[in-house]
Amino acid sequence: MTRNVLFLLLLALVAVACDPDKVFEENREIEGHTWKIGETLHFKVPVEDTLTPQSVFINVRNYSDYPYSNLYLFIHVTSPAGDEVTDTVNFLLADKRGRWLGRGIGDLYFTRLPYKQDILFPYKGIYRFDIAQGMRTDLEGIRDVGVRVERIKTRKRGKE
């Protein structure tokens, strides 16, 4: 029993050490792999660091039978101070030839899509990300959607 606990603890430490820039990541499975019109996914993202530049990504896992090459999303962000921003974004999931842009295993593809790059969060606290699909039809073939926040790697500055 103790060996199993130690093994699991070691495995967790290795997993965290392999992704040192990750601040937050959470994915939500779409029930029945059909994302219905009007269905909104809610994410509560804790932010403690307001001094380090960070990037926000949207994770999408889709099956090869997803009928489109793109995905329109409505992203509504509410800060801990109550400030709100709403964006409509169009993410490409496949190229013009229909080849999926993400990594695939079998008929499942994972794409990490840049949403906001090199930003500073103005407040510490919980930011709420509400994500709805904007494709005007129920979407079959979307397995899950998520939010990832990661630190920007420090850049070495040369002489100017």
The secondary structure of 63-80, three-state, reads ECCCCCCEEEEEEEEECC
> What residues contact 92, with CB distance under 8 A and at least 6 apart?
69, 70, 101
Nearest to 74 by CA among 133, 150, 159, 157: 133
- Provide the token pair at 136: 């005007």
Listing DSSP states for 2-27 in one string gives HHHHHHHHHHHHHHHHT-TTEEEEEE
pLDDT at 8: 47
pLDDT at 157: 45
pLDDT string in tens for the chain (160-residue length): 555 545 545 554 555 557 788 999 999 999 999 999 999 999 999 999 999 999 999 999 999 999 999 999 999 999 999 999 999 999 999 999 999 999 999 999 999 999 999 999 999 999 999 999 999 999 999 999 999 999 987 654 444 4
pTM: predicted TM-score of the whole model, two decimal places: 0.83
Instruction: Identify the CATH number of the domain defined by range 22-151.
Output: 2.60.120
pLDDT at 150: 96
